[in-house]
Amino acid sequence: MKIAIIVHSLSGNTRKFADSLFNRLTEDGNEVNLTQLETTIPIKGGSVRQKMEISFKNLPGIAEAEVVLYGGPVWAFGASPVIVTAMQKIGSLKGKTVISFGTMGFPLKFMGGNSAIAWMNRTAATLGAKVLPGSICCQMMRNLDAEITAETDRIAKQIK
């Protein structure tokens, strides 16, 4: 299966999650492309609820992907505006399956994580995707690596 992973990460935690997904899905025999988004000007914060002009140096094409995984950090108790803008600029997801994933500092998913995944899922649905349940991993007072491993396994099982 052809899979695209598109990730926005500043601290490296969401990238760690993306790398875990890349390694597992590749081991499972899939053809996987991973793109870490680069913006033309640094974006170090913000809310998806506010209008921001964001442009990219490396927005990937996903025409051949059957499954697209979009990942980003939780910012301001919601999805990163960088990953949501990338989703919108990439455009139509008709005929594709999408799974959203992310990481957050707070220890409880209702402290922005659930909202971030819901926002990304709504965006994907409006672009025509078949949306599968997403995943958020928490850092504070948690074992982030163990959560990433468990959620990577869960996502890999959804894709099979």
* Chain center to CA of 70: 3
pLDDT at position 72: 97
Reported as a pLDDT band with limits 50, 70 and 90, residue 15 is: very high
pTM of the predicted model, to two decimals? 0.95
108: pLDDT strictly greater than 90? no
The answer to whether residue 160 scores a pLDDT higher than 90 is: no
Residue entry with tokens 């059957």: 66
Mean pLDDT on 48-56: 89
Which range, of 16-25, 31-40, 139-148, averages the lowest pLDDT? 139-148
CA distance 81 to 138: 19
27 Cβ contact list (under 8 Å, min separation 6) = none
| Domains of the chain, earliest start first | 2-159 (3.40.50.360)
